[in-house]
Structure 1
């Protein structure tokens, strides 16, 4: 589905990002991962092989993103897909308990990183008539208790996705987002441990999905491969729920 394409993927060494990296590669793409996790990046490259590339960097820093984009183009010739997946979730508290430093970091990593990748990769995407995928969250649409700052970043990401879709459609660039509900990742495990009743959180996360279980990240990766492919050639500005029907109403 993606043979001959190059995917520039942020935060691709764990969780949803790692599942996407593996499935992009399996679909035939060359994958360039940007991550601030040196050990995870080394492990990912050992698994994926030398036909792919990893760049150590902080997506909240403009220079790191610019350098990674440049290196990706030098290595692979162009960029066809930018997948903005890097993100952080903490703290799991109401807004008034969020520190200024935590608020700033959330917006720097979850949102400003998209500003950086778009600025530096846009010309390449114009050449390839490529696409942008943002990893959002269902919480950006419906909210979530004890998670105000995080949900604010995802709500902003959804609005940004739609505006970017309009701005870049004249260049043949599609922009979409995926919006999971619960997905078992290291980030979700960390969030679960911060909840008032962590012992019962797994049952809760199974129950909120209409399909009856909280999935692994491969279900999101399947959707991302589709959005990156020509099969999604007439889809743009969409916030695609990959949520097992959780948005239809919590079962309890």
Structure 2
């Protein structure tokens, strides 16, 4: 009988109610990890009630108190926190710079960059004491290019800097930090971002990428890459920015 790759681990995954976070929660639980499944949407968390190894946790990760509570739950109720996956995010619906309000900028940066920073800052304390831990951030193709909206592009470029900083600083403390940059993935991020894509912004992105022969991926494609980066098989992988995009970043 094969050993499950995350047996005995405790993971925390944000955005666990749908899309990539949902797929990762399911796979990590199947691979033996206890998973604190975090989402702001209570209805989406209902799917995890009674599921083996999954502990649904309602939280707004733009609020520091909620971040502290979800990490305390893992540490105190489940005994430890080995893996943190920052998956939850929104985009700016490709709004061009002159139409990007301060409110839109702050909303995107708060969730896509400030929240992962705070989560890592709070979670790393317990990991340091144990001398081990893994962080995985979900970035985007937008972390390589400038053909997305300015706030989303800035957030994902910033997330890359955060990933590399954490990987460098905590490497000698047994803690790894990596990032997956997906390309097109079939999720409902448009709905969760609060509207429809900006027509002009969409046309700009389509012009830049329309001739690239890459198909959309499934959330499960990201989940399988995440599993490997978070298990002990990848113990030498630290500070890696991994494109899971069908080759999109190569064009």
Could you tell me the TM-score, scaled by structure 2's length?
A: 0.89
Which structure 2 residue ranges, 5 or more long, are not aligned?
Answer: none
Of stretches 26-35 and 122-131 in structure 1, the one that deviates more from structure 2 is 122-131
Q: Quick check: 1:93 aligned with 2:95?
A: yes
Q: Quick check: 1:196 aligned with 2:199?
A: yes
Aligned with 1:159 (options 161, 168, 179): 161
Q: Could you tell me how far apart the structure 2 residues matched to 1:22 and 1:89 are?
A: 24
Asked whether the 8 Å contact 1:131–1:174 carries over to 2, the reply is yes
Name the structure 2 match of 1:18.
22
| Corresponding residue SS for 2:80 | coil
Name the structure 2 match of 1:108.
110
* Aligned Cα root-mean-square deviation (Å): 2.5
Q: Could you tell me how far apart the structure 1 residues matched to 2:138 and 2:104 are?
A: 20
Structure-to-structure mapping, 1:69-80, within 5 angstroms = 69-80=71-82
Write the deviation string for residues 191-227 of structure 1: whole angstroms up to 9, x where unpaired. Answer: 8952539999xx99996664x4211111100000000
Flag the 1:45–1:4 CA change in 2: closer, same or farther, 3 A. same
Q: Quick check: 1:39 aligned with 2:72?
A: no
Which structure 1 residue ranges, 5 or more long, are not aligned?
Answer: none
Name the structure 2 match of 1:176.
178
Write the deviation string for residues 48-85 of structure 1: whole angstroms up to 9, x where unpaired. Answer: 33x32111111111100001110111221000101111
Count of paired positions: 243
Q: Could you tell me how far apart the structure 2 residues matched to 1:18 and 1:28 are?
A: 16
Could you tell me the TM-score, scaled by structure 1's length?
A: 0.89
Q: Could you tell me how far apart the structure 1 residues matched to 2:208 and 2:230 are?
A: 28
Give the Å deviation of 1:119.
Answer: 2.2
Of stretches 57-66 and 188-197 in structure 1, the one that deviates more from structure 2 is 188-197
